[in-house]
Amino acid sequence: METKRFSGKSIVVTGGAGDIGLATAVRFGNEGADVALIDVKDMATAKAKVQQTGATVRTYTCDVTEYAQVERTVATIALDFGGIDMLFNNAGIQGQFKQLHTYPVDDFAQVININLIGAFHVLRAVAIHMVAQKSGTIVNTASMAGVDGPVNMVAYGASKFAMIGMTQTAAKDLAPYGIRVNSISPGFMGPGFMWDRQVDLQAAVGSQYYDTDRNVVAKQMIGAVPLRRYGSIEEIPGTVAYLMSGDSSYVTGVNIKLSGGI
Residue 114 and residue 92: Cα distance in Å, rounded? 6
Are the beta carbons of 27 and 237 closer than 8 angstroms?
yes
Q: Considering the candidates 156, 177, 210, 250, report the single residue annotated as catalytic.
A: 156
Are the beta carbons of 115 and 123 closer than 8 angstroms?
no
Neighbours of 106 (CB within 10 A): 8
Residue 7 neighbours by CB under 8 Å, 6+ apart: 31, 32, 33
Q: Which one, of 154, 115, 123, lies nearest residue 139 by Cα?
A: 123
User: How is residue 172 annotated by DSSP?
Assistant: H
Residue 48 neighbours by CB under 8 Å, 6+ apart: none
**Annotated catalytic residue 177:** no
- Which amino acid appears at position 168 of this protein? Q
**DSSP E strands, 52-157:** 57-61, 86-89, 136-141
Q: Which one, of 81, 99, 69, lies nearest residue 28 by Cα?
A: 81
**Local structure of 180: helix, strand or coil:** strand
Helix (H) or strand (E) holding 93: none
User: What residues are annotated to the active site?
Assistant: 156
